Chains A and B, each alone.
Chain A
Amino acid sequence: MTRPLVEVEGLARRFDVSRPWLARLLAREPRRFLHAVAGVDFAIPRGTTMALVGESGCGKSTVARMLVGLLRPSAGRIVFDGTPLDPDAGRKALAPIRRRMQMIFQDPYASLDPRWRVEAIVAEPLDAFGLVRDRAERRERVAELLRAVGLSPADGRKYPHEFSGGQRQRISIARALASRPDFLVCDEPTSALDVSVQAQILNLMKELQEQLGLTYLLISHNLAVVSVMADQVGVMYLGRIVELAPADELFARPRHPYTRLLLDTVPDLEMRRRERAPVAGEVPSPIDPPPGCAFHPRCPFAERRCRAERPALLPAGPARVACHAVEEGRLPA
């Protein structure tokens, strides 16, 4: 079996959210940490899409930012195509790997420098990694990239504000593709877009994946989007993966109570108008997560063990689930 393109082991990140030193001293407070990501493992096979889903504050974006080097992991390691990423290596040493992993961002209005022409934006990675020899080649490559995302080469002369949200997201994708990466981290790529445009972008992402053999990590809060894009899904809650499963399996047979809750909240377009059991509670603060299983205060199946002991991510059929109730087989199927 070939090795996965991306492997993540025990990845963790904590943020120091202590008050300033003097205030802390006066109030006799200890330092406080927010464990945004508290140990996450997964692997993404080449040419497939892995999705991380969860609500705000679950740590999915932090994982994405660590993968592309925007944030330093506090612990754990990232292995890319067999090479472990050393965060202490210099900029130059990391460049060959950086070239191969790029990112698409959420807000198409903030992800393009408003003062740059589109051609300069798309060409930025070409210059950054020294991928073109002269201006002619640069122009040719930019035109090719713009065409690949469904824009015209003439659009390169314009500025970002002349484009709609969907077109801007295309420009953002063209920029991400400029360095011919293998791996794209897509952080909520369509959540700022209207539905009809979202469909265009999702279709484009699929086409590009087929043509270029891209591997995606898709960060999303929208389960329906994940269901049409992902091969593998990790459900995150308060910094941990609570269920990791092949997409078909996850949507057909959700195991973890939180996964079930999330699926239950997806609005029903089939108009069955079911009266749902209202989902109680909200996500607790990640600074002070509940002991044991972090989901237990909202979980209808919680028992004493759930309040005391944190469940490990254990195999359950083709999935892996972190839940005592699933492990003990006391959940209705």
Chain B
Amino acid sequence: MTAALRRFFDHDLWWSFTRSPLTVAAALVTLLFLVAALAAPWITPHDPFDPARVDLLDAFTPPVWTERGDPRFLLGTDDQGRDILSTIVWGSRISLLVGFAAVLLSATLGVALGVSAGYVGGVYESVVMRLADVQLTIPGILVALTINGVARTLVPRELQEAAAIWVLVLAIGISDWPKYARLARGTTLVEKNKEYIAAARVMGLHPLRIMVSHLLPNVIGPVLVIGTIGLALAIISEATLSFLGVGVPPTTPSLGTLIRIGNDFLFSGEWWITLFPSLALVLLVLAVNLLGDWLRDAFNPKLR
């Protein structure tokens, strides 16, 4: 274990990481969001989703540093008297969950299709890659909206609320697979002509085994890079869908839902309801994006 740790800290990746203050900051912010999201039930000052603990009389309390501020609510409350800070933490939890799950889905789908297309070739490859090309010509959010709509009509009404998050994951995940498929196929095409693949074929290994044990590991690195940037995009997609009202229901709000709710009050003077969730979203997406950019550069031998 210590040897593995030593190798990690000795690695060029770690070295280039410590050399970039912006990346370190981005990593810290991302980590902060992750920890906060995971520990939400224990660290939030209020439970914004317990109707018994929310008092409508607290509604529209502005942030604490303003004239009418209430020390109990650091960033103020919304129209139902929920603590904005707490809803942001809980909202990030939902946003990150949807983001991670969607990236996992699209990466799995894309990598499986891309690696197999690259390795098998022929008609199968043409079909898969043309499908990817076609989907790439349609804006991702449109694809997600369509899938979201179809899924909602298929899910029974009484389950819709509970299934909303997973419908969202499905919609965002499927809208994003072509990127991963292209990348995976490209890497596979390079690797499959190398002699270690030929050696595995001479042993008569099953193609699936060659793909999983030899080709897949080559794809993981690059996928991690675009997956990180993809996470930021998925969070935005989720926020967009929720903002449009087809995302997660207001009872379990994500950052997007919070921004939408707050938007209704922006012109009546309660600016804090929408501003703070928006800032949180921008901060999170920016941090994840910076992290992704650094990973991409660190993995790109041409820039090293």
Residue contact A91 to B204, C-beta cutoff 8 Å: yes
Chain A residues proximal to chain B, CB less than 8 Å: 65, 68-70, 91, 94-95, 98, 101-103, 105-107, 110-113, 115, 124-125, 128-129, 172, 175, 179
> How many contacts between A and B, using CB within 8 angstroms?
53
In angstroms, Cα B214 to Cα A115, docked, is 8
- Residues of chain B in range 200-240 having any CB-CB distance to chain A below 8 Å: 200-206, 214, 217-218
A110 touches B195 (CB 8 A): yes
A115 adjacent to B202 (CB under 8 Å): no
Sort A-B residue pairs by CB-CB distance and give the 6 closest, nearest first.
A111-B195, A105-B195, A128-B203, A98-B204, A110-B194, A113-B196
Instruction: Name the distance in Å between B198's Cβ and chain A's nearest Cβ.
Output: 6
Whether the pair A125, B195 counts as a contact (CB closer than 8 A) is no
CB distance from A100 to the nearest CB of B (A): 11
Contacts A106-B195, A175-B199 known; list 19 others, CB within 8 Å: A91-B204, A94-B204, A95-B204, A98-B203, A102-B203, A103-B198, A103-B199, A103-B202, A105-B198, A107-B195, A111-B194, A111-B199, A112-B196, A113-B196, A115-B217, A115-B218, A124-B199, A125-B203, A179-B203
By a beta-carbon cutoff of 8 Å, the part of chain B in contact with chain A is: 194-196, 198-206, 214, 217-218
CB-CB < 8 A to B203: which residues of A?
98, 102, 124-125, 128-129, 179
Given contacts A91-B206, A115-B218, contact A124 B200 (CB under 8 A): yes
Closest B residue by C-beta to A105: B195
Query: Which residues of B sit under 8 angstroms from A113, Cβ to Cβ?
Result: 196, 214, 217
Give the CA-CA distance A183 to B195 in the complex, in Å: 19
How far apart sit A169 and B248, CA to CA, in the bound complex (Å)?
Answer: 57
In the assembly, what is the distance between CA of A70 and CA of B196, in Å?
A: 12
Closest B residue to A128 by beta carbon equals: B203
Task: Please name all residues of chain B whose beta carbon is closer than 8 Å to the beta carbon of A107 when the two chains form the complex.
Answer: 195
A70 touches B218 (CB 8 A): no
A97, closest chain B residue (CB): B204
With contacts A113-B214, A115-B218 known, is A128 near B205, CB below 8 A? yes
Cα A106 to Cα B195 in complex, Å, equals 8
Closest to A121 in B: B196
Residue of B nearest to A113 (CB): B196
- Select which of A98, A110, A112 is within 8 A of B202 by beta carbon: A98
Taking CB atoms, residues of chain A closer than 8 Å to B200 are 124, 128
A125 vs B203: C-alpha distance when bound (angstroms): 6
Alpha-carbon separation in the docked complex, A91 to B204 (Å): 6
B196 and A110 contact, CB distance less than 8 A: yes
- Inter-chain contact B202/A111, CB cutoff 8 Å: no
Instruction: Tell me the nearest residue of chain B to A175, going by C-beta.
Output: B199
